[in-house]
């Protein structure tokens, strides 16, 4: 890339792991440079983080609206080109809307918004904006999952009959939000996370992975969205039966109370000719299974790991940060060229809307104890 894109960040203050992941993976290739940020709603904390990152004091802001307003007034060769939004769910829409209206490009963490009604307004803002919008559904960045989609699109598995995705964690197996745990506190607070807890935090990852790789859409679902840790205000375990748009059957499980599990994510897709299995514990391996029980292993290339692999993320291999970096490279392609060769890795507003609809419909199904249409 001939141009180094100038990056701004909203959120990601002191102690924020996801903010550091965004910053490091976006800049690892040298195609982007962090130039400004509103890292916290606290001016002091924002200054602390910005100074730690070596930013000019004048480019460290105490609020996202101040940052967007002042950056928009700067000359084009100085002001930020895009902003990464790494805040809790209830603070995704407003800063994204302001940034898009000001002409900036936006990349945002999942889930898209606080609730489905807000997501609809979000979609309108993206459609009316001049800037580009992307989301970080991280697992889309794994090279072998892109390969898996290619294999399915070529018909190698035949007609898809069965799909399964499971994402299990154990970090919320105890009521740690009552002890002031920072990450648990906002994720288990309905006023900050929205209607969904675990189903929004990792269930949307599982849902997006299933639809994006299989190429199928969920047509209807029957969900059990539960609170299993006493005293918690929001769901921590979800089990969903699925019917896909081609008639295939499916199952999605997302849980954060599976004691002892770190990042246990797996995807199974079974067709009339062959089956396919991908496991996050071995992200550089894709297994194809045949009717005679023969298996074929497809391995990725170790040299795909780049500079971002130096970031150590608990429960994830170095391929996780490489996946994040690939997503950013796809986003950069779109900013500079209007399109990207990495369409699979770069999730957009439609993916975000599907994720929010999934949360809405799964909770509705669970409350009403019946199948609902997507």
Q: What pLDDT is recorded for position 306?
A: 47
Residues pairing with 209 in the sheet? none
Mapped onto helix, strand or coil, the DSSP state of residue 8 is strand
Kindly report, residue by residue over 158-195, the tens digit of the pLDDT: 999 999 999 999 999 999 999 999 899 999 999 999 99
Residues of the chain with pLDDT under 50: 303-310
Burial 140-156 (b: 16+ CB within 10 A, else e): bbbbbbbbbbebbeeee
Q: What pLDDT is recorded for position 1?
A: 52
Q: What pLDDT is recorded for position 338?
A: 81
- % helix / strand / coil in the chain, to the nearest 5? 40, 25, 35
Q: What pLDDT is recorded for position 347?
A: 94
Q: What pLDDT is recorded for position 15?
A: 81
Torsion-angle region of 74 (φ positive above 0: left; ψ -120 to 50: alpha; else: beta): beta
| pTM as predicted | 0.93
Q: What pLDDT is recorded for position 315?
A: 52
Contacts of 114 (CB under 8 A, 6+ apart): 89, 90, 92, 93, 194
């Amino acid at each position: 890339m001939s141009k180094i894109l100038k990056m701004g960040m909203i959120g990601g203050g002191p102690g924020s792991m996801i903010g550091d992941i965004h910053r490091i993976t976006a800049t690892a290739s040298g195609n982007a440079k962090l130039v400004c940020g509103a890292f916290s709603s606290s001016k002091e904390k924002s200054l602390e983080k910005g100074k730690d990152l070596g930013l000019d004091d004048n480019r460290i802001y105490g609020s996202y609206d101040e940052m967007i307003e002042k950056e928009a007034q700067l000359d084009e060769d100085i002001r930020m080109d895009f902003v990464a939004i790494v805040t809790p769910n209830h603070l995704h829409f407003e800063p994204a809307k302001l940034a898009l209206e000001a002409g900036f490009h936006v990349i945002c963490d999942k889930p898209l918004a606080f609730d489905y009604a807000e997501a609809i307004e979000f979609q309108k803002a993206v459609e009316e904006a001049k800037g580009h919008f992307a989301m970080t559904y991280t697992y889309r960045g794994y090279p072998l999952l892109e390969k898996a989609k290619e294999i399915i699109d070529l018909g190698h598995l035949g007609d898809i009959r069965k799909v399964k995705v499971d994402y299990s964690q154990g970090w919320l197996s105890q009521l740690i939000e009552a002890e002031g745990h920072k990450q648990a506190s906002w994720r288990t607070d309905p006023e900050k996370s929205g209607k969904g807890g675990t189903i929004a935090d990792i269930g949307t990852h599982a849902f997006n992975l299933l639809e994006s790789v299989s190429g199928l859409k969920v047509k209807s679902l029957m969900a059990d969205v539960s609170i299993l840790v006493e005293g918690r205000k929001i769901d921590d375990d979800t089990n969903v039966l699925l019917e896909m748009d081609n008639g295939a059957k499916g199952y999605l499980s997302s849980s954060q109370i599976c004691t002892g599990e770190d990042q246990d994510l797996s995807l199974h897709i079974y067709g009339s000719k062959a089956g396919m299995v991908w496991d996050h514990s071995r992200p550089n391996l894709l297994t194809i299974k045949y009717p005679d029980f023969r298996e074929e292993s497809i391995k990725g290339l170790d040299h795909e790991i780049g500079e971002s692999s130096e970031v150590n993320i608990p429960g994830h291999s170095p391929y996780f940060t490489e996946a994040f970096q690939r997503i950013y490279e796809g986003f950069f392609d779109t900013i500079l060229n209007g399109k990207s060769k990495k369409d699979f890795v770069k999730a957009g507003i439609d993916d975000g809307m599907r994720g929010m609809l999934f949360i809405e419909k799964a909770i509705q199904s669970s409350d009403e104890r019946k199948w609902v249409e997507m």
